[in-house]
Amino acid sequence: MRKKIMTISIFVAILLTGCTPEENQELATEEVTIVAGSIGGGWDITARAMQDSLLSENLIDGEIHVLNKVGAGGELGWKYTQQQKDPVLAVNSSLLITNHLLGQSQLTYKDFTLLAILATEWEVVVVSKDSSIDSAKTMMGNLKDAPHDYKIGVSPRLGNDDQLSFVLASKRAGVQPEKLNFQIYENSANVVDALLKKQIDVATMTLAEAKKYYDLDQVKILVISSDDRLKELPEVPTWSEEGIEIVFEHWRGIMGPPDMTEDEIRFWDQTIEKMVQTEQWQQTLEKYMWKDFYMNSSETTQFLEQQSKMYEDLMKTNEGNE
């Protein structure tokens, strides 16, 4: 009996030592790939911010590469990620949910291993610097009278938060959202280019995407989806100040291929939790005016379940735009 008890004790000890942080550290292989969309877009900015933070703080021993897979509203990159066995992660956003709801993708969040929600940022509406549209209130008033008259630029496809935030604001303003004239572009750079060439009248995008063109004095930011004015942009009013009660946060997260092991999930939980506390990551939040919104893998799964229900209700408003 003594020998049997000792054998069981040794076996339990081996199991426990197999779950230590030191063992998990070995799961960080020599090469990690983070899949993103077009260079300079929101997913790309997020992927490169992760790359910088993980490497600068030595949270990953090997190399980290950002792989830009452009096309189909994230679908190409996500299909690639789904098929990988090596350490490949992909940046995601609400398109992971809405692509499926719109019938544009067979993939859902359940087809991946959800690892984290990282941050949220605000949506903005921009016009060219010399546009005659001087406020969001004026814009919505014009759209209420003639909803098809303005061409509204959005990327990379309908159903993302850029478009849905505008749809929600227009609905609250009494505009018929199904009659809005959305023009689709591959990325935000193409949207702004079309705006400057007068091919479209208005554009909706995230603040991080719009900020560089605003700093270059190429566009005017009419309105922001935050609850209060940002201290960094005190001149930009909120939707509520323009008479439309809406606050809209755009989230981004990270996920891996399906069937990741518990050890792999535990490793990334530990590593990403450390990453979001680093000085490098905090500087990223400040630089892009993002809001910390970190959730670990289990919290992210619950969050996306809730988001899926919320977007399903919101997409009913958007059906006329397909």
Read off the pLDDT of each residue in 285-310 and give the average, rounded to a whole number.
94
Q: Could you tell me if 26 and 60 are in contact, meaning their C-beta atoms sit under 8 angstroms apart?
A: no
Specify the pLDDT at position 26: 52
Q: Could you tell me if 308 and 114 are in contact, meaning their C-beta atoms sit under 8 angstroms apart?
A: no
Using the structure block, give the residue that is written with the tokens 């159903």: 159
* pLDDT tens column, 106-115: 999 999 999 9
User: Whole-number mean pLDDT of the chain?
Assistant: 87
* pLDDT tens column, 86-127: 789 999 999 899 888 888 889 999 999 999 999 999 999 999
Specify the pLDDT at position 254: 97
Structure-model confidence comparison of residues 315 and 292, the more confident one = 292
What pTM was computed for the model? 0.80
Specify the pLDDT at position 218: 97
2-121+251-319 and 122-249 agree in CATH topology: yes
CA distance 124 to 56: 31
Q: Mind spelling out the 3-state secondary structure of the chain?
A: CHHHHHHHHHHHHHHHHCCCHHHHHCCCCCEEEEEECCCCCHHHHHHHHHHHHHHHCCCCCCEEEEEECCCHHHHHHHHHHHCCCCCEEEEECCHHHHHHHCCCCCCCHHHCEEEEEEEEEEEEEEEECCCCCCCHHHHHHHHHHCCCCCEEEECCCCCCHHHHHHHHHHHHCCCCHHHCEEEECCCHHHHHHHHHCCCCCEEEEEHHHHHHHHHCCCEEEEEECCCCCCCCCCCCCECHHHCCCCCCEEEEEEEECCCCCHHHHHHHHHHHHHHCCCHHHHHHHHHHCCEEEEECHHHHHHHHHHHHHHHHHHHHHHHHHC
Domain 122-249, CATH: 3.40.190.10
* Domain boundary assignment for the chain: 2-121+251-319, 122-249
Beta-carbon contacts of 197 under 8 Å, excluding residues fewer than 6 positions away, are: none
Specify the pLDDT at position 12: 32
* pLDDT tens column, 175-209: 999 999 999 998 899 999 999 999 999 999 999 89
From 3.40.50.300, 3.40.50.150, 3.40.640.10, 3.40.190.150, which CATH number describes the 2-121+251-319 domain? 3.40.190.150
Closest CA to 127 of 179, 195, 186, 182: 195
Using the structure block, give the residue that is written with the tokens 């590469």: 65
